[in-house]
Structure formats: structure tokens, C-alpha cells
Chain A
């Protein structure tokens, strides 16, 4: 075991740092999706042009073809440099693209992947429905096969970036009368197609970042189905494993910055003299250190065995809950100034309110605990 990096990796780290130092935008990313879309696209394009998009994606599709450790190094330096959140490119870059790399046809890959890396195509995820949240297998949106097309009717909800997206990962029922996990397909849906209506939804933090999406006889070519008709559940599970698996790398660096800032703030305003606060800060500092250790352990597991290992679900839950504890502390340290919050403010209260998502989106904390209990500890399935 060791926690050092090879000379080659260290050189790569220097390269990342140098480029980021002179290229991270000085202006802040606007917090609302519609205002930020231009910013998000331009920044992604800049990353792509300089060779920093898709570090471990295949070179044939615009990536760099580098190792996962180099990807980690990039994400660490990215967070250290306070580079902007990738925003609207999140879905395409973090799970849409990786799902295509794993499951899509050559034609699908060569059309979509480079566009994602270039920030030219924005993706969204159409999994959840009003009646299918944690119980994703109860999806009702259906696609009737007509010639070489699917004719889609139904609705999706909580679709992040739907109102700015060009494409969607759409999971729908393509076999009439099918139940649960069977008869589903994962299709690439053109968000500009006729018959799609988008009703944006505002979050309690003020942003309009997700939406309800209605499908009224929307036509999708059958050639847009990924991984074969009826294999949607399997493909969707790979999407979720990417969604649940990549975010934490940058998260651990950000958590390190946050806890350092919180301790400095508590010193400056004297609240650190409260033993309860000092103890919570010390605890979180230890937990943030452990988060990095877990991340490294997980990544080296992937390098050694090609798989993230069963403890990946543990990291995901721990990251989410630790993030929320940090956000709560930041608000606590604001004292009564926290009540000044109004929509549009980009401060700790905003992060705190937004942060409720981390134990809901992509599988709630309860569902994660089921997964840990059942897959890691072998307890009987509750569902």
C-alpha cells in the first residue's frame, strides 16, 4: 500500500494545475440552469479544445484514453482550482456518455460521444415518473412500435436540465402488458421532437433546474434504442452505477476545502469556543480525511480488479450525508444572518437547501441503505 503518485502521474498533475491556473473562468457560474447554459457550454468547449474533456474516454470518441488514476488527478486539481461545476453537462459527461460507451452501437457512439465532450449536446435523464421514483421498475411511460419508430406517450418528472437539453436518456415500456423490470428499453430521445412539453419546476433553493416532461405521440427512431429492445433495465442499471459512482472524486476535495473554511470561520467568529461546535468540526475533519482515503481505496480497487468493489455504495451514502453535515454547519456558523436568504442568493444557505438532493436524487439514502445491507452484508431483500 502507498499513498504516493508515480513521477509520470506527478507530471500529469503539474500539467493539470498549470492549465487550470490560467484558464479557470474568473466570473461565477450563474446559479439558474437557463442563465448558465451558455456558460456551461462555453466552458465545456474550452475543456475539450485543450484536451481536458473525457480524460479516460476512448480517443476514437474525442477522449484522451488515459487511466482512471489520471482522471482522479484531473478531478482533484479541478476542484482545488475552484473550477466551475459542470452544470448542464453533468448528465452527458458523467453518465449518458459512459452508458453509451458501454452499451451503444458504433453509429450511436460516433454520433453522440464527441458532441457530449464538446458541450455541443446537452443531455438529461428521463427515468423518474410521478408514480415511479424509488420504485423505478414501475415505469408507465410507453413506446408503441410502429414500423421503424417508437411512438411515445406518458410523462417523466424531476428531469434535471430538461428545458435546456438536446437529448434524453429515456427509459420506457416498449412491450405492452410487460411488468416490472421486463419489457423496458433505454432510448435516446430528441428533446426538440414534436409532442414534447416541458414544465419547469422550481426548487426550494430558488433555481429552476428540473422539470416535468410530457410525451404526446413523440416519435423516436428504433435505431435510437441503446443495448437492444427490452434490455432497458440492464442499461439503466449501468447508467445508475455511473451516476452513483463518479461524483465523489471531486466531492472529497471540495469537502476538504469546506471543512478548512468552516474551521477558519468558527475561529474568526469565536464560535469554536463552543465545545459542541469544536467537537463536530473535529469529527468532520476526520471524516473528510476518511472520505479521501475511501476514494483512493475505491479507485485502487478499480485499477486492481477492474471493478469498483461492493463498498462503492458505502462511499456514495457517506459522501451524501457528510456533505449535508458540512452544509448544515456552514449555515449554523452564519448565525442569524442566515435568515437574510432570498432566491437568487448564491451563499451557504443556497448550498444547504440544494444539498437536500444528495440523499434523494439518484437513489435515496434509504434505498442506498437497502443496497448496502443486501449486497454487502447479504441480508434478505426487503423488496
Chain B
């Protein structure tokens, strides 16, 4: 039993964090450089657990937390899952479709430059090999575009681990998002002075920040446990990943809101960064959402 990072994971985490800071800063989430996707692919994050890579989901979760902290593209989630579960049939970026029923329209997130679309459903992943040829529209998350597509023929992966994998990665993004909001709030609370002292001196503010730390720590712990359960093929992996997604989404949303409050007026401007975390959190809550019924089921 060990839920700490080993040296290799710690090194990978630090390297990811450093790279993100220099090349994909959270503050620039709405103006991502056109060449970013190629760089992400070159860094290897689109296929960390692809067959032949020999990496586990726990390591992947650690890395995706860091990517999520920087509000990395949503397409990374779907591309990483597609590379793991669909050996061939597409090359390059895979956009993410929210679950929809045939034959209705599907809502496709982050379609820019994609070669295929991956739809998450609770029991399977469906891959549609279609080019990015529909008009884009914005989403609440300023870093993510969307488009509408009609349902077409797809390849499916019925492996029960496939949708869990994507859910785990989305939970990792949310944990990172919750961390980002927590750190932004704590940094501002040390910096901003009112009544001749940093506002973080006031318990009313300090305790808001402490609660953000609690939520982030709770969600991250469950994420690690869930990743290990998936790696070990445990029968209760689905339960643990659902629990992780629920707690991570909540942490991202609650921390996102709290961060704005800690910032005061500047916190609700378009110019400042806090809204970026909140809006990303709102998008993530619809990606591979946790199944409340599963959380109430008897343990396996």
C-alpha cells in the first residue's frame, strides 16, 4: 500500500508543471497558440497509457492533474482515451462528444483541428472518424469551442475500463482546476492589503482558503485511490472513479466560486483569471459525470 508519488512520478509531475507554466499558462487559457497541440503530442501526453507505453493510470492521473491546473485543452482527455482503447482508425487530435442518444445531434467539444470524435457513455466509448468541418461556437469555458454533429457510424469499445479511464482523466483535470483556484486565492490573500494587513490575516478569508485546501486534498486522495483501483482491475474501480469524479467536480466548482469571493471586485472581471477556473469547472461537470446511483449501490 502506497499512495505517495515515487521519484519517477515526482519528476514527471515537476517537469509537467514547469512545462505548463512556461508554455500553457492558465492566464492565457483563451488564447492558446495554434502550435500548442503539436507540442502536447510531442510531450507524449496524448498517449501516455497507449498500448506499448507501459505507464499506469496512477502516473497518468498525476500528470493530468498538472495539465488540468493549467486549463489544458479538453481534447487531451479524449485523445488520450482514444489512443488507449482504439488501436487505429484515426491519427492526431480526437475531439470529445458529450453523451447523446442516437440519432440526435451530438455536442462536440474542442473540435479544432480534430480528425475524429470520441463520445463518452457510462458503459462504452464510441469513436467517430469525421473531420473537423462543422462551424464552431463558444462554450462558457473560454478555452473550449464546440460544434454540433449528427450521429454517424462509429467504432465502439465495450471494455468496461474504457469509459472509466476517460472519467478518471476528467476527474484529474477537475482536481487540477480546484488546486489552481486554491493557490490563486491563497496567493492573492497574502498579497492584497486592506486595513493595513494582508486580507489572509482575517479568519473570514483564511478559513475560506482552508476549506479550499480541504476540498482539493480530499478529491486528490480519492483520485489516486481510484487510479490504483483501475490499474489493479478491482471490481469496485467504477465506484471509486465515480466518487473521485463527484468530489473533484465539487471541489473545482466550490473552489472556483470561493476564489472569486476572495478576490473581491477584480475577481469577477473578464480580465482577471479567477473566472477561468470556475468556467472550466462548469464544463467539466458535464464530462463523464459521476453516477449517483452507483454511489448508493452495495459494495461489490
Binding site for B on A (CB under 8 A): 1-5, 9, 69, 260, 263, 272, 278-279, 281-283, 285-287, 289-294, 296-297, 299-301, 303-304, 311, 314, 317-318, 366, 368-370, 372-374, 376-382
Contacts and interface: CB of A to CB of B under 8 A. Distances in A.
20 contacts: A1-B9, A1-B224, A2-B2, A3-B225, A3-B228, A3-B229, A282-B296, A286-B242, A286-B290, A293-B222, A294-B218, A311-B217, A366-B203, A369-B203, A373-B210, A377-B182, A377-B210, A378-B190, A379-B198, A380-B200
Given A287-B218, A380-B190, A5 B210 contact: no
Interface in B1-32: 1-6, 9
B177 interface: no
A293 B225 contact: yes
Given A286-B243, A301-B4, A311-B217, A2 B231 contact: yes
Contact of B246 (A283, A366, A380): A283
B81 interface: no
A126 to B, nearest CB: 28
Contact of A1 (B207, B213, B228, B246): B228
B211 interface: yes
B93 interface: no
Contacts of B246: 282-283, 286
7 A-B pairs closest in CB distance: A293-B225, A286-B243, A379-B200, A290-B222, A373-B206, A293-B221, A282-B295
A74 to B, nearest CB: 14
B201 A4 contact: no
Contact of A2 (B1, B9, B206): B1
Residue among A293, A301, A314, A369 with the highest chain B CB neighbour number at 10 A: A293
B2 A303 contact: yes
B295 A285 contact: yes
A379 B189 contact: yes
B219 interface: yes
B186 A379 contact: yes
B299 to A, nearest CB: 7
Interface string B218-248: 1101101111110110000001101110110
Interface of A is mostly: helix
A82 B206 CA distance: 39
B202 interface: yes
A377 B259 CA distance: 14
A292 B225 contact: yes
Contact of B240 (A289, A303, A373): A289
A299 to B, nearest CB: 8
Contacts of B221: 290, 293-294, 296-297
A285 B1 contact: no
B54 to A, nearest CB: 15
B212 to A, nearest CB: 8
B209 interface: yes
B243 A285 contact: yes
Interface of B is mostly: helix
Contacts of B225: 3, 289-290, 292-293, 296
Given A278-B296, A379-B189, A379-B206, A297 B224 contact: yes
Contacts, number: 158
A303 B1 CA distance: 10
A1 B206 contact: no
B190 A300 contact: no
Contacts of A303: 2
Residue among A278, A314, A370, A381 with the highest chain B CB neighbour number at 10 A: A314
B186 A263 contact: no
B295 A318 contact: no
A240 to B, nearest CB: 18
B68 to A, nearest CB: 18
Contacts of B207: 366, 369-370, 373
B23 to A, nearest CB: 27
B214 A314 contact: yes
B247 A373 contact: no
B180 interface: no
Contacts of A311: 217
A1 B227 contact: yes
A296 B219 CA distance: 14
B292 interface: yes
A266 to B, nearest CB: 9
A272 B232 CA distance: 32
Nearest to A309: B4
A67 B193 CA distance: 48
B43 to A, nearest CB: 22
Nearest to B229: A3
Contacts of B219: 290
A373 B4 contact: no
A223 B206 CA distance: 43
Residue among B186, B202, B221, B226 with the highest chain A CB neighbour number at 10 A: B221
A297 B3 contact: yes
A259 B182 CA distance: 29
A379 B229 contact: no
A73 to B, nearest CB: 9
A378 B186 contact: yes
Nearest to A267: B296
B300 to A, nearest CB: 13
Nearest to B224: A1
Nearest to B236: A289
Given A286-B243, A301-B4, A369-B207, A317 B295 contact: no
A376 B243 CA distance: 25
Given A290-B244, A369-B210, 16 more contacts: A1-B2, A1-B3, A1-B224, A283-B246, A286-B244, A289-B239, A290-B247, A292-B225, A293-B221, A296-B221, A297-B4, A300-B4, A317-B214, A377-B209, A379-B190, A381-B201
